[in-house]
Structure 1
Amino acid sequence: MEDDTKSRLKLLQAEIRLKTGKRVTPQDILARLVEHAIESKAGLVDSFREERVPLAESEREKFHDGMVSSALSS
């Protein structure tokens, strides 16, 4: 595992402890991440596609302008 990834994992570990009061190991975090990735496998697989093209800021704004908050639609 790269040093940058290890550092980010440690930061996540510290944030979980701070917000929940529970100590978790890096293995606990990785196991939970894998569990969630399996539940939303399509998103994970898509994140590895090379065809992804970044949207221009104007295109991103257009997309978000068309979205409706679920809290407002109930």
Structure 2
Amino acid sequence: MTTEVKIHEDAKSRLEELQAEIRLQTGRNVTRQELVAHLINDAYESRSDVINSFRESSVPLSEDEKETMRRGRFRSDVETDESDIDDVLYG
């Protein structure tokens, strides 16, 4: 079963360019349907990557970014309050 999807002319043009490049570099003709299916199935590592690609900013952080930040933490065993932070930042 196939469904027709309308796409903007710019996107259609880019798909056609990619089709031509695939044909030139591999010698294989690929239909737009094959190309779109391939892009959808293989372009992202996970569904969350697809969802995150539509976010306006990188906040909130991805799970990988959060884990990277956690790895860089250490405990100094020194109590810090707001005035300590202000002193460090603003002198």
* 1:40 equivalenced with 2:46 (yes/no): yes
Q: Which structure carries more helix by proportion?
A: 1
Paired residue total: 53
What TM-score do the two structures reach when normalised by structure 2? 0.51
What TM-score do the two structures reach when normalised by structure 1? 0.62
In structure 2, list runs of 5 or more residues that go unmatched: 1-6, 60-91
**What is the alpha-carbon distance in structure 1 between the residues aligned to residue 56 and residue 14 of structure 2?**
24
Calculate the aligned-residue CA RMSD, in Å.
Answer: 1.9
List per-residue Cα deviations over 1:21-67 (Å, max 9, x = no partner).
Answer: 000001000010111146432222111112338xxxxxxxxxxxxxx
* Bigger Cα Rg: 2
In structure 1, list runs of 5 or more residues that go unmatched: 54-74
Q: Greater relative contact order (Cα 8 A, min sep 6): structure 1 or 2?
A: 1
